[in-house]
Structure 1
Amino acid sequence: MNRFRLIVGVVCAALLMGCTTTTSKIPNGQAARLVSTTGGMLRGVTQAQLGVFRGIPYAAPPVGELRWAAPQPLPGWEGVRDASAFGAACIQPPVPASSIYNDPPPSSSEDCLNLNVWAPDDAEKAPVIVWIHGGSLRIGGNSLPMYDGTNYAQRGVVFVSLNYRLGPLGWLAHEELSAKSDDGTSGNYGLLDQIAALQWVRDNIAAFGGDASNVTIMGESAGALSVTYLMATPKARGLFDKAIIQSTNLRSFPELAEAANAMPSAEQIGADLFSKLGVADIDAARSMAPQELTNLATLAGFAPQGTIDGALLPDQLLDIFDRGEQARVPVMVGYNAHEYRPEGGLALRMPKTSTQYEALVASVYGDLASEFLRIYPHAQGADALLDATGDIIFGWSGERIAQSQRELDVPSYFYVFDHCYPSARARDLCAFHASELPFSFGNLAAEAMPARWPVPDGEHDRAISDAMLDYWISFAASGRPTAQGHAPWKPYGPAEHYVRFADRPIAGRDFKPGMFELFETFAQRERAAGRSWGMPVALSVPAEIQDKQ
């Protein structure tokens, strides 16, 4: 019997509603679906033989005294709650209209802890993917058209997308908050939201046909960083079984109460923000309108990020992975071949002469400079600096995670997205940061993308997208990525196997030889010297030596 029909029959009988069918009509003409959750009954819609449920709350609204508090249990509701429309995104600052990432959600609110579910009508213990959106922990939302889960659900996955608190509302640490908390910590509220959403999935996903014992967490950029946090935190153990990590980083993060790694403490960062805003204390900050607070904090330079608090994030990510204390789950991890391009927000110029360039690199990399120059020679122009930036942040981090899981004898798979198409090539945006998303979701139409995004218009776009969906879904189902008719994807292993997504998937070994080893050695040296690591260095070129041609 169809799972939705069974649920509706049981619920209707219990409520003495006399229902005899799974469907009814709702105002927009779509058929309705009912599902029982721990919070109460939900009425979703049927679309293309899928049950779609939007705007499902998974925690109490974090407003008033719950601003800067762990997410609280959701009060249940009476009757049937409509789940046909997306909920509000979390409060976020505006993005410049000129940005290719300018894709504002329809609405935003502090009451934003909601998620969406796409499920096949006949789902029965189906694999589950939980999507965590990117956006620098500052912007984004689960309602963006690019993240529509239809293509996953049509291929047999129960797909979930969630919202989590952003900006200062989600990632502010402050001494007052730490003093009033049960465990003496603050910050990481957005991460706590993600854990609460995964707990909701554990408790409710079977009602949608999903298998709570086969959950894959998946994210890109800040979402990939969130997945990495979830792998690192003991608080998320048992809530997921696999991880798909698209462009993460393992950089150093602020410690809660002590300056470390050439960074102020997270509490000091919070205190400095309040000083810049003229805010006296937490009570005064709670009295501010959430949008005003977010906008002002952004203008003041507040950068949302995780806090190493000794509890939720017990140590630096690199230390946790070094000790093998991360989640022992299969991973599929990778990055894009040209993460940073000029229109992506980073315009770097090469020094005019190779001698100037070599001196600049040597001033930071010392005896590693020759290897840096071999991989990123002056002849490449600004592309050398741009690609070095992406590689030190995302390439090194992705391979580091693949290697760390291998050392735990856990399967890991590494990829590089290197697909280009005419409209992207015309703007020097081949394989830029986040450009894999339309392909990994199968949402290639212009209406699924931000207004200034280069819309895929190449001969191989749909084929590459279908292959990526097959690899992603098979990994979620079994822990092994496969795609019929395409390259076998071998585990990363000692040979450093990977798949490169160009005009077709191409299997290879040791992508960009020497790159990982260079940045691993450099990161370890910076770490040992008490400096921050995992972020670009030696890329600030003085104006007087820039090549402006």
Structure 2
Amino acid sequence: MPLRDAAFAILAALVAGGVGPAVAASADPEGEHVILQTPAGGLSGVTIEGVRAFKGVPYAAPPVGTGRWRPPAPAPHWTGLRDARAFGPACVQPTPRVQTIYSADLGRTSEDCLTLNIWTPANAEKAPVIVWIHGGALVAGSSRETLYDGSRLAAQGVVVVSINYRLGVLGYLAHPALSAESTDGVSGNYGLMDQIEALKWVQRNIAAFGGDPQNVTIAGESAGGLSVMYLMASPPARGLFTKVIAQSAYMISTPELKAARYGMPSAEDAGARLARTLQAPSARALRSLDAQTLTDAAALAGFLPFGAVDGKLLPGQLVDVFDRGDQAPVPILAGFNSGEVRSLKMLAPPTPSSPADYERTIRERYGDLADAFLALYPSSDMGESILATTRDALYGWTSERLVRSQTALQRPSFLYYFDHGYPAADAAGLHGFHASELPYMFGRLTRTPPLWPKVPDTAEERALSDVMVAYWTAFARDGAPGQVAGVSWPAYGEERQFMRFEKMPRPAERLLPGMFDLHEQAMCRRRASGTQPWNWNVGLASPSLIGTAGSTGGECG
């Protein structure tokens, strides 16, 4: 599927919807009030069942008015006591036009949205910290989503921080006029800058909440996982975290700021084209537009946000940075789900009229790689093969590439495959669907969106959630998930070991044999051609890979 055509499908689907100790002050229907003094200022939060929660805490100044499309400025210190018992507004995002299983009421949105939330054990001291980056295609989502309730993880001894960051056109617009304003001559990547500013806030303040600033894990799912990889590759983020968790991440090609490459226009050219469409050719004109009107219009025009290779925040394509070994040398836990594309079918091409058509197209597109492709994704079950192709090319290949890369840096690396189903999901054809691991690893099985297939309240489901919570918190604490319920999670290593989550965890070796090698070769050929992107245009939607063989570096050698 071409990048621009896919933009409409993705937007339609994913836009759905001195430091002192805490002192209890007064009772509250939602818990007991608690006051905390931090370097940023005093906070009034709430304690429930031994977990303190502080919500809607600003980490950066509001990026409004002339602050729109500028690097975030640190939030000013406040005096007095700030009420931190309610989430802040979500960042501005396109008005929902369809409903999906991910749809949820995020409440008010605003440009004044650069806030974070903290859940911490009541008596925490130098506790490990998880900073959670929400998903939503860099277009939608919020740290206030019920899926991301950090109270259960905090009850296991981890400080959890969830963050907002600028989204869509407000977070990732590049434009020549905006670059001209910058002392570095760059634009775009504002959402990534926000994430870095939030991590700096954590470094300055998290000790007041009982967290250890020297033991910070960044974690995210989907676009949150993409953000984790951007942060691993970004020099300004170096030293702000010590471990990473990437769930259903996708290491796709991304635009370069000033040059057209890999079949994509430069990020500046794409931004200038959007500005002309919006009849706002200057930075001043763009800033004069109402934030919601601008965001909706950009989405309808097909603007799809990604990080831009600018030589400062992002020094190169992710595959190149990781091939050079220039990413953050930290332990990693990464993985994906068996049914990723069952809930994201807009990412998959339509099914051909016959198996013969399927095989002919694959041979035309994949050439000498076609036999390997058809062995993995046969024409005998075209529907399942198409879903598996897109799943593997985006999420499976990325997950294995990540653990291979960190293993090469001699860092502990752990791979998982979430293949768990339950009655409501399986009945809807959504076994192991995209993000279905989140209620389990957050330990909040009942905190799902309204249209989400309901997780049954059974001992079996709770047991799986318990072990995932234990593995994730152990990794955040020690850099290894260790042993839970008598089952040790092995490092990836030379045996290519991974953990399979079905009814319960089960160690195994060599996930989906041949999968990684096929999609690595396909990416290598596209990169060598210099004219082809690598994203969800795979399988039947792939460009021809014939005659583009040959590349150097990393896995492509």
- TM-score, normalising length: structure 1: 0.93
Contact 1:393 1:536 in 2 (8 A): no
Shift in CA distance, 335/177, structure 1 to aligned 2, threshold 3 Å: same
Distance in 2 between residues matched to 1:467 and 1:309, nearest whole Å = 41
Three-state SS of the structure 2 residue aligned to 1:463 is: helix
Q: CA deviation at 1:90?
A: 0.4
Matching residue of 1:381: 382
Q: How many angstroms apart in 2 are the aligned matches of 1:275 and 1:83?
A: 42
1:547 corresponds in structure 2 to none
Partner of 2:526: 526
What are the superposed Cα offsets for residues 358-386 of structure 1, whole Å, 9 maximum, x if unpaired?
Answer: 11111111110111100011112311101
Q: In the alignment, does 2:454 pair up with 1:455?
A: yes
Aligned equivalent of 1:19: none
Query: CA–CA distance in 1 between the matches of 2:503 and 2:455?
Result: 12
Q: Secondary structure at the match of 1:539?
A: helix
Cα distance in 2 between the residues matched to 1:26 and 1:61: 32
The alpha-carbon deviation at position 39 of structure 1 amounts to 2.3
Q: What does 1:277-316 correspond to in 2, within 5 Å?
A: 277-316=278-317
Q: Give me the whole-angstrom Cα distance separating, in 2, the residues matched to 1:487 and 1:517.
A: 29
Contact 1:348 1:382 in 2 (8 A): no
TM-superposed deviation, 1:106: 1.5
Paired position in structure 2 for 1:222: 223
> How far apart in 2 are the matches of 1:344 and 1:119?
38
Alpha-carbon deviation of 1:356?
1.1
Q: Relative to structure 1, is the Cα distance of residues 211 and 510 closer, same or farther in structure 2, using a 3 angstrom cutoff? A: same
The aligned counterpart of 1:489 is 489
Q: Distance in 2 between matches of 1:327 and 1:343?
A: 30
Q: Amino acid of the residue matched to residue 21 of structure 2? A: I
Letter in 1 for 2:453: P
TM-score (norm 2): 0.91
Equivalent pair of 2:92/2:110 in contact (CA under 8 Å): yes
3-state DSSP class of the match of 2:484? Answer: coil
- Cα offset for 1:226? 0.4
Gaps of 5+ in 1: 9-21, 542-549
Distance in 1 between residues matched to 2:322 and 2:348, nearest whole Å: 33
Q: Cα 1:102–1:504, aligned 2, differ >3 Å: closer, same or farther?
A: same
State the superposition RMSD in angstroms.
1.6
State whether structure 2 residue 6 is matched by structure 1 residue 7.
Answer: no
The offset of 1:338, in angstroms, is 1.6
Q: Distance in 2 between matches of 1:534 and 1:326?
A: 21
The residue identity in structure 2 corresponding to 1:456 is V
Distance, in Å, in 1 between the alignment partners of 2:366 and 2:248 is 24
Q: Which amino acid in the other structure matches residue 451 of structure 1?
A: P
State the match for 2:63 in structure 1. Answer: 62
Q: Mind listing any 5+ residue stretches in structure 2 that lack a counterpart? A: 1-17, 543-557
Return the letter of the residue paired with 2:540.
Answer: L
User: Quick one: distance in 2 between partners of 1:286 and 1:28?
Assistant: 42
Which amino acid letter does the alignment assign opposite residue 38 of structure 2? T
SS in structure 2 opposite 1:123?
coil
Residues 139 and 104 of structure 1: is their aligned pair in 2 closer, same or farther, counting only changes over 3 Å? Answer: farther
For 1:502, the aligned partner's letter is E
User: Do the aligned partners of 1:344 and 1:433 also contact (CA within 8 Å) in 2?
Assistant: no
What is the alpha-carbon distance in structure 2 between the residues aligned to residue 466 and residue 355 of structure 1? 47
Question: Following TM superposition, by how much is the alpha carbon of 1:482 offset from its aligned partner in structure 2, in angstroms?
Answer: 2.5
Note the alpha carbon deviations across 1:459-518, whole angstroms, 9 max, x for none.
632111111111100000001102422431111111111001111111111111000000
- Structure-2 change in CA distance of 1:459 and 1:37 (3 Å): closer
Counterparts in 2 of 1:231-310, with a 5 A limit?
231-310=232-311
Distance 1:27 1:505 in 2: 40
| Alignment correspondent of 2:3 | none
Whole-Å Cα distance in 1 between the matches of residues 319 and 348 of structure 2? 29
Contact 2:264–2:533 (Cα < 8 Å) also in 1: yes
SS in 2 for 1:382: helix
Letter in 2 for 1:166: L
Inter-partner Cα distance in structure 1 for 2:486 and 2:387: 31
- In the alignment, residue 368 of structure 1 is paired with which amino acid? L
User: Is residue 345–residue 387 contact of structure 2 (8 Å, CA) maintained in 1?
Assistant: no
Q: 2 CA distance for matches of 1:346 and 1:318? A: 21
- Give the secondary-structure state (helix, strand or coil) at the position aligned to 1:293: helix
SS at match of 2:21: helix
Alpha-carbon separation, structure 2, partners of 1:29 and 1:237: 38
Compared with structure 1, are the counterparts of its residues 426 and 459 closer, same or farther at alpha carbon in structure 2 (3 Å cutoff)?
Answer: farther
Distance 1:104 1:360 in 2: 42
Tell me, what secondary structure is at the counterpart of 2:340? coil
**Does the CA contact (< 8 Å) of 1:168 and 1:304 recur in 2?**
yes
Residue 14 of structure 2 is matched in structure 1 by none
Partner of 2:473: 473
Whether 1:38 aligns to 2:52 is: no
CA gap of 1:342–1:87, structure 2 versus 1, over 3 A, is: closer
Structure 1, residues 133-158: CA drift from partner, whole Å, max 9, x if none?
00000111111111100101100001
Separation in 2 of the partners of 1:491 and 1:49? 33
* Closer/same/farther in 2, CA of residues 346 and 236 from structure 1, 3 Å limit: closer
**Structure 2 Cα separation of the partners of residues 494 and 29 of structure 1:** 50
Once the two structures are TM-superposed, the CA of residue 262 in structure 1 deviates from its matched residue by 1.0
Contact 2:347-2:536 at 8 Å conserved across structures: no
Q: Which has the higher mean CA deviation after the structures are superposed, 139-148 or 451-460?
A: 451-460
Greater CA deviation, 33-42 or 50-59?
33-42
Residues 99 and 344 in structure 1, CA contact (< 8 A), matched pair in contact too: no
Deviation for aligned residue 1:64: 0.6
Task: Give, in angstroms, the shift of residue 354 of structure 1.
Answer: 2.2
Task: Look up the SS of the partner of 1:340 in the other structure.
Answer: helix
